[in-house]
Chain A
């Protein structure tokens, strides 16, 4: 009922563990009862060409129903990820997706080339990281730059490419169209929403990087609308969407699929409940049975909009 094909890859379930929340794929298996087999894919931590130490503390701040983070793409560099981290992964349990980042178009291409020559199943292009000075969201908010990055990565691999779109832009649907035209096989919608937390006593931002990316239930309504908007473009072209942003309760996952997502990303929810994935699976199966559906695919994009009102007047 939940097993599915995603860009030619077999997913155990429509859940995807999100980049930046689960390290390089093995970290959550420390928790007894957690299993990578509960999800369709695991996105590894954002990786650049060379090692990056990331930002100084604090990197995190809790906000009402949300979490601000500014890690700053700490990673050991793509060559070491391929040589030291991938061999430790059990590819029989789930699919593993690399998350590519860079400060220049050339860097994205080079990182793609390095992962192409590895057992990784697919690659997510992070053109929406809000916490680094160059690249990241600066590329993601400019449709021309987004397309250039995707094109450059496309020349380096035949593995599935997934462009991760930023919510911090005016017309996400247009950016989605440009990324598809540039060769993206799927889209991840959305990355974190840019924000800030201030300590009034110190009159300083709480986060070392000053600004940060907001995740968690607080951003779910934003993410749902963006998925709905992107689906209008991607749906007719059969380009699947990984809907993500604030999924916490199992019902949230259903909402994203109804809005048009083929798969659903789970990130911050793990921090609240490390065993949330198995619960989401059970609720999905129950829901499909109750609605006489045989496969989760039947639910994708099944949103029934209200008819536009013809004569509404406030007074």
Chain B
């Protein structure tokens, strides 16, 4: 036909990495503040998900667009995944009405997960609102690795937490004694957690997640900061504050982002955000280039 080569050397490694699944609902639990946890039987997604991965969910067959949802837990052995969501719009409200055994159309897992090669031994995980799930997933992953890591999870919410907080039995040096409320699941995994809110929730730190993180950092010897690495997911103002904090203490920080999404496979460029790269500004796709980015790329002006 013409002199140009028309044969690709090899198909890209990205082929067949996202699995479509019709996932039965195994559990669907409602919490205060219109929050819900849904457990779905999705063996392929559970087997391949990594901390930071998300699924693209057809929340209801009558809605044209799917919704991207972070994976909170994945159990490869039992073949299920868990998702926490807040019913704040039409789609998530329709999802909240769906019952056990109904099938939910999913594609996943999607996204570039957190980079966890040789992470520092004191990982600080910060989750705000519906940004909590990836932090839970990451915490479970860290626990499975069973090394001498000393993680700390700080969660923030302005609506009641989607679990019954209980006083933590794990002492974290440097934190105020009255800030004692933790997440039971993390407690069961022997991972210390502390909760923050501007609301007057008992045992919680009254203030921002970054305020509590700062207290913790300030209680350390400065040389110990070299052992700290931060992972965060939550609303943009929170992520910006985290980026500023980590820039101030010169800590590595990865953040997970969200944006309106259409295809979620890298095809439509609808979810792109501006990031700074070595070669200048770029608009990167949150779905496949992210959702996890280096905080300094997303908030270059921080610090």
Contacts and interface: CB of A to CB of B under 8 A. Distances in A.
B145 interface: no
B65 A90 contact: no
Contact of A27 (B7, B261, B265): B265
A69 B65 CA distance: 13
Interface string A14-56: 0000001111001111111100000000000100000001101
Contacts of B4: 118-119
Most buried by A among B44, B63, B64, B65: B64
B281 interface: yes
Given A26-B12, A90-B11, A57 B268 contact: no
Interface stretch (B14-22, B155-163, B221-229): B14-22
B283 A272 contact: no
The interface size bin for chain B is 35 or more
Most buried by B among A60, A87, A273: A60
A272 B61 CA distance: 9
Interface string A187-201: 000000000000000
B47 interface: no
Contact of B15 (A29, A45, A58, A60): A29
Contact of B66 (A20, A54, A216, A271): A271
Contacts of A27: 263, 265-267, 288
A74 B269 contact: yes
Contacts of A62: 63-65, 260
B72 interface: no
Interface string A164-198: 00000000000000000000000000000000000
Nearest to A26: B12
B266 A23 contact: yes
B110 to A, nearest CB: 8
Most buried by A among B107, B270, B281: B270
B293 to A, nearest CB: 14
Interface stretch (B27-35, B180-188, B245-253, B271-279): B271-279
Interface residues of A, number: 46
A87 B269 CA distance: 21
A61 B260 contact: yes
Contact of B64 (A54, A57, A66): A66
B259 interface: yes
Contact of B272 (A59, A89, A216): A59
Interface in B102-153: 105, 107
A65 B64 CA distance: 6
B138 to A, nearest CB: 23
B18 to A, nearest CB: 5
A203 interface: no
Interface in B64-89: 64-66
Given A60-B260, A217-B64, A271-B64, A71 B270 contact: yes
Nearest to B266: A27
Nearest to B259: A57
Contacts of B20: 31-33, 274-275
Nearest to B61: A272
Contact of B262 (A54, A56, A67, A119): A67
Most buried by A among B14, B283, B288: B283
B297 interface: no
Given A22-B267, A31-B18, A45-B269, A60 B11 contact: no
A82 B259 CA distance: 30
A92 interface: yes
Most buried by B among A53, A56, A59, A67: A59
Given A26-B15, A29-B11, 6 more contacts: A21-B268, A28-B263, A29-B12, A53-B282, A87-B5, A90-B11
The 7 closest A-B pairs by CB, nearest first: A119-B4, A91-B6, A27-B267, A60-B270, A27-B266, A60-B260, A32-B16
26 contacts: A21-B263, A23-B266, A23-B267, A29-B12, A29-B14, A30-B14, A30-B15, A30-B266, A30-B288, A32-B17, A45-B269, A53-B283, A57-B259, A59-B272, A60-B262, A61-B260, A62-B65, A62-B260, A118-B4, A119-B4, A119-B6, A248-B64, A271-B64, A271-B263, A274-B107, A274-B263
Interface of A: 20-23, 26-33, 45, 53-54, 56-62, 65-67, 69, 71, 74, 87-92, 118-119, 216-217, 248, 268, 270-275
Interface of B: 2, 4-9, 11-12, 14-20, 44, 58, 63-66, 105, 107, 259-263, 265-274, 281-283, 288
